[in-house]
């Protein structure tokens, strides 16, 4: 089945630690996105990539980093510079030119120990 | 002013009634409008999109767009308990990326 796989489902971060969230898609989509969702809030864009080896900052990129070495994969690293990382992280993908019709992964809940 | 605003609710509707969800946006240049449904602890899924003024119907769902008043709404007819979820309005302002509202939590009471 085609889809987007995020892992892990739950992740805990210690002070000063970098953690990486995985996102893999087999939909053959060109564009991939990372969103953050805080309780009772909408989605805020962290980073997006429209093509391999290229990515752009979203509205809240500080404290995060990404890479896009393969079309299928778009991992997100939450660095120690991100002082308030507790949130639900959603990865999404779309066909080029249909950036509004997003397909989402199941999400990763990140918490701070 | 937020780019996309929704009443966070909760909105409570009896089963079988019409649920009406509203969204306003600030950028007059916005061209594309979307409704995503998100069940608790799950990821959003696209349920409706609308580009032109007027109504667009899909089964029990109707999206309504009024660009002059800068609002978009979602009507759910014959509401079912399975419709209980948070509904996210999303807009593409001008030529930029999708912007989401904070969502409206809808509860359908049996």
pLDDT digit string, tens, across residues B50-90: 999 999 999 999 999 999 999 999 999 999 999 999 999 99
**Alpha-carbon gap, residue A52 to A111, rounded angstroms:** 30
Give the gap in angstroms from C-alpha A28 to the nearest C-alpha of chain B: 19
Residues A76/A78/A81/A86 CA torsion (nearest 10 deg): 130
The number of C-beta contacts closer than 8 angstroms across A and B is 45
Q: What is the pLDDT of residue A21?
A: 97
Q: What are A26's two structure tokens?
A: 């087999």
Residue A11, phi then psi, degrees to nearest 5: -145, 140
Q: What is the pLDDT of residue A87?
A: 95
Q: What does pLDDT average to over chain B?
A: 93
* Residue with the two structure tokens 């030119």: A97
DSSP state of A30: S
Could you tell me the maximum CA-CA distance found in chain B, to the nearest angstrom? 42
Residues 6+ apart with CB under 8 A from A27: A2, A3, A4, A93, A103
C-alpha distance across the termini of chain A, in Å = 35
How would you class B104 by CB atoms within 10 Å of its CB: exposed for 0-12, middle for 13-18, buried for 19 or more?
Answer: buried
Closest CA to B33 of B75, B77, B91, B78: B91
Among A35, A43, A56, A59, the residue to mutate for chain B (most B Cβ within 10 A)? A43
Q: Which of B8, B43, B102 sits opposite A90 (nearest CB)?
A: B43
Average pLDDT over residues B80-101: 90
Q: Find, in chain B, the residue whose alpha carbon is nearest to that of A37.
A: B102
3-state secondary structure of B26: coil
Average pLDDT over residues A69-92: 95
Report pLDDT digits (tens) over A18-77: 999 999 999 999 999 999 999 878 899 999 999 999 999 999 999 999 999 999 999 999
Q: Please report which confidence band the pLDDT of residue B16 belongs to, taking 50, 70 and 90 as the band edges.
A: very high
3-state secondary structure of A62: coil
Interface of A with B in 19-48 (CB under 8 A): 40-45, 48
In chain A, the DSSP E strands lie at 4-7, 10-13, 19-25, 31-37, 43-51, 54-57, 64-66, 76-78, 87-94, 103-104, 108-112
Contact A6, A21 (CB under 8 A): yes
**Alpha-carbon gap, residue A75 to A88, rounded angstroms:** 15
């Amino acid at each position: 089945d085609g889809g987007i796989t995020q892992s892990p489902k739950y992740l805990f971060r210690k002070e000063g630690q970098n953690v990486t969230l995985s996102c893999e898609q087999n939909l053959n989509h060109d564009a991939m996105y990372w969103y953050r969702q805080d309780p009772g809030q909408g989605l805020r864009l962290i980073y997006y990539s429209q093509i391999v080896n290229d990515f752009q900052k979203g509205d809240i990129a500080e404290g995060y980093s990404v890479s896009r070495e393969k079309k299928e994969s778009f991992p997100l690293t939450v660095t120690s510079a991100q002082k308030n990382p507790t949130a639900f992280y959603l990865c999404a993908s779309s066909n080029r030119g249909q950036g509004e019709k997003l397909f989402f992964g199941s999400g990763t809940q990140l918490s701070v120990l | 002013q937020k780019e996309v605003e929704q009443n966070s609710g909760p909105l409570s509707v009896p089963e079988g009634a019409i649920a009406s969800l509203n969204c306003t946006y600030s950028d007059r240049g916005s061209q594309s409008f979307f409704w995503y449904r998100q069940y608790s602890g799950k990821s959003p899924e696209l349920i409706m999109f609308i580009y032109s003024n007027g109504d667009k119907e899909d089964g029990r769902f109707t999206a309504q767009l009024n660009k002059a008043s800068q609002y978009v709404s979602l009507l759910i007819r014959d509401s079912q308990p399975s419709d209980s979820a948070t509904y996210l309005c999303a807009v593409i302002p001008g030529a930029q990326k999708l912007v989401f509202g904070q969502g409206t939590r809808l509860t359908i009471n049996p």
